[in-house]
Structure 1
Amino acid sequence: MGKLSGKVALVTGGSRGIGRGIAERLGRDGALVAVHYGRNEAAATETAAAIGEAGGRAFVVGAELGVPGDVDTLMAGLEAGLRTHGESMIDILVHNAGLNLMGRPIEVLTPEEFDQMVAVNVKAPFFLTQRLLPQLRDGGRIISISSVSTRIASAHGIAYPLTKGALEVFSQTLAKHLGPRGITVNSVAVGFTSTDMTAEVLADPANRERNISLTALGRIGRVPDIADAVAFLASDDARWITGTKVDVTGGVSL
């Protein structure tokens, strides 16, 4: 019996990278995992299959975030998937999906690009949470994936950390609001982490070494580093932790 046996989790952006790692870890811990994807159905199906092969249970939910009707589409897919597994409620909501238009400083960022990042990184988590609150069991967990760029100035642009800062404030405020229901709400700040999506950036030896030199523990983060922290916050072991940000960066720029 895993720590999350009998629990139901939704991981947005769960088809690749950190999201996939989180989905697989929650699945290994016993949760039924709804693996959300925006466009890459094949990757989400592969993630769900990997969870199944490891002895867990999972299903996929497709909905592009940041477009009109995104939450409606996601909820319809989620509810259909839950019904097939005899469920109607969830216990764990992980806001992992995000959009980062790198290399877009304030001088060149367009209103359309700004709106797109806000829509995916702030508006979608806000209104998805709103819709799910009646279906989130008392004693549940909400975990948002944030970024070290809310703590240190980012060289890649200003809008992405701005949206992640908003998500952190949302999490802290929501923690107080949902406290009477025993629901904990926390965020996880991620630093330099090796995924298929960061492979190109980290392939540059100079850039890789610079990132390592900024990290106290002396290496680039790995997906399990993040997934394990999320699994802890999702478990009963973290029952007395809420309204906070856990820095899972290996000590970037201490």
Structure 2
Amino acid sequence: MKILFISDLHCEAKVFRGVYEGYACEWLLSIIDGVKPDALISAGDWGSLVSFNFFQELRRRVPVVLSVYGNHERMDVLLKSGVLMEEGRVHELNGLRIGGIHGIVSPKGGVKKGVPRRTPSEFLSVARRLAGKLDILVMHEVPYLPEAYPDVRRDIGPLTALKAIEIVRPRLVLGGHMHRGCYTIHEVTRNVLYLRVDSSMAERCYVVLEADSIIVYRDEEFVMKRGISLRASP
């Protein structure tokens, strides 16, 4: 089983960090053609240029696509795309148990630019439904990890995300949202590993999970490899 992990593709008709993002969707399809994954996992922020036809093409090339939404999305397309994970559900891939929590946290929830925000209680309610059931947890919100992100604020969003990880206790957390270089890998606890990747056009990074290993690439160039047992501890 070969899993391709991306986040923060940001397919947008604008420049971000000095790079035009309008070709992000085509770039992803080219990466898929090279990697030939059995499944694609996204931690959200697809961007506003994605279309239903794009997701149809994506699902034609990849047998399984699982995604959470972030805070930069075209929700009308995503909701019809068939790629969004059902919260509270455990998705099984070759024996791996995968689940997701959508969105980022806001004290009062609500909707911003067409994308729902989650209250802390909503976010943690999903975590409790997944507690002890997952090998891989996918979420867009950034957990409070000052060792990995010294500038992260001790705010309700990161604190809630960290609490969710503590509740679920997966072996691996796949995340996004932060733009701090190609990737971040950090041991939350002895048995829980956090991995973030930046797949925007500024970084062009992605991860291949295969045969108990994590391999990070930047635009097809090898960056890093680390071993991992992807079965969560009981």
Tell me if TM exceeds 0.5.
no
The two structures have a TM-score, normalised by structure 2, of 0.41
Q: Name the larger-Rg structure.
A: 1
Q: Comparing both structures, which one devotes a greater share of its residues to helix?
A: 1
